[in-house]
A and B are shown apart, each in its own frame.
Chain A
Amino acid sequence: QKEVEQNSGPLSVPEGAIASLNCTYSDRGSQSFFWYRQYSGKSPELIMSIYSNGDKEDGRFTAQLNKASQYVSLLIRDSQPSDSATYLCAVNIPRRGGSNYKLTFGKGTLLTVNP
């Protein structure tokens, strides 16, 4: 099982719809979870971070975390064409050697919002 898996894309939604992006992780000891957005030809930028079970809202974005199910998701409400990008799920998986901080990334989900 891969350490961080994201639902296969690409995902296409109409403008104004809700886009739902999903991610699962393998290590139950993980404590920190992040969503990054990466536009084509650009570096990743942080969208949301979440550390506790439940929902965390920031504008049109809601991150949801369920540690029991080892599942984290990102909802984008009222999707806009400018939201079209690759969304990367990242998890801080505990280390037992080497560097004590490592973010492991999923492969990303390409989201297209159609006008």
Chain B
Amino acid sequence: SAVISQKPSRDICQRGTSLTIQCQVDSQVTMMFWYRQQPGQSLTLIATANQGSEATYESGFVIDKFPISRPNLTFSTLTVSNMSPEDSSIYLCSVLSGQFGNTIYFGEGSWLTVV
């Protein structure tokens, strides 16, 4: 499986600020995704990061709040904009990989606390 590195791994952010999370993969992957896991909850897909075009957002998530970049097949960023305490979550970068190319693997996650 691909090795996925995220940074920052953890941060405490002030309300109203924005933070960009970076995701680096050690091999080229076609599909990259960003998930959110709020405290005590399961994982929710934010968007699919598309290389060279705009990300595809899931219902309830918008580009103004969560702008995503995917400049190449190994790198993506997620920005959490104008943060509020409700944005305190784990943000997970993930890729589609595996023997049959249909398994999702996760990075270590970015733990964000908004104060």
Contacts and interface: CB of A to CB of B under 8 A. Distances in A.
Interface stretch (A60-68, A73-81, A97-105): A97-105
Contact of A98 (B1, B42, B56, B107): B56
Main secondary structure of the interface of B (DSSP, over half): strand
Interface string A45-69: 1100100000000000000000000
Interface residues of A, number: 21
B106 A101 contact: no
Interface of B: 1, 31, 41-45, 47-48, 56, 58, 90, 92, 96, 98, 102-109
B107 A43 contact: yes
Contacts of B104: 34, 46, 90, 103
A46 B103 contact: yes
Contact of A44 (B1, B48, B106): B106
